[in-house]
Amino acid sequence: MADDGPARRAVVTGASSGIGTEYAAALAARGWDLVLVARRADRLDALAGRLREESGAAVEAMAADLAHSPDLSRVAARVAADDVALLVNNAGINGYGPFAEVDAALLAKVIDVNVVAPTVLTRAALPHMLARGRGAVVNVASLLAFAGALPPDPLPHRAVYGGTKGYMVTFTRTLAAELAGTPVRVQVVCPGLTATEFHLGTGEAPVAGEARVHDEGGMPAADVVEASLAALESDEVVCVPGLSDPGAVTLLADAERALRAGSGATLAPRYRDAGRAAHG
């Protein structure tokens, strides 16, 4: 992503592993200074040191739990600073499990991290980006946002996680329409299965130890980031890194238009007829 102005700092959340680490590395290699946010201070410090040495970038490490309100407020204040020109909302947890069995507190945390935090941070970033006349926000979602009707096995039990990623897709697309004609860009990237440690835990606590990759494999995280940054250059709002034919996104918009045809004041005959039949 090109940005030749004086504000050339990116904030990357969830930077301590996987896709977040790859965003940090790719942006540092492109000349960006960074603010890295995650729960694991040891990993953040190690990553920050490596990127400073490899790229010469100025790198700040902010240890923060975005489900914790004071931490979120602290990060939001940093995001709102004048030097931030790119926000990557990558932090996320899954809370996988049958909905009726998963701890309710964990599900609330999934919503806090996956929905509340990116919304708050985007709201903090946008006014200054609009005032400066440049900036971008990238939201990391998932192809599970489009998997609502599919049952678990082999997909995970994901009612809340999928719902949060569906929010990110709708939020980003709607915000992009709102910002059309401004110099600020927004993107939602929707990877499929990615080779990270994401599936090694539910997100209640960070995965301990060295960074690992779950056994299921998937697309390399660096490829997800490569697709996202290329799509940002070409103003793609919805980026699906493994999708060869972008026409599927157009088909999605067409299906939505067909659904919105039901917004009229007249009840559909199929419901009216069913009601009459039920009452004899």
Give the DSSP per-residue string, 37-56: EES-HHHHHHHHHHHHHHH-
Q: Which of 96, 161, 167, 271 is catalytic?
A: 167
Sequence length of the chain is 280
- The answer to whether 96 is a known catalytic residue is no
Q: What are phi and psi of 176, to 5 degrees?
A: -60, -40
26 within 8 A of 230, measured Cβ to Cβ: no
Q: What is the DSSP letter of 156?
A: P
Q: CA separation (Å) from 230 to 135, 234, 244, 253? A: 16, 7, 14, 22
Tell me the sheet residues that pair with 33: 9
Give the DSSP per-residue string, 109-142: HHHIIIIIHHHHHHHHHHHHHHHHT-EEEEEE--
**Helices and strands (H and E) in the chain: how many:** 9, 9
Q: Which residues are catalytic?
A: 167
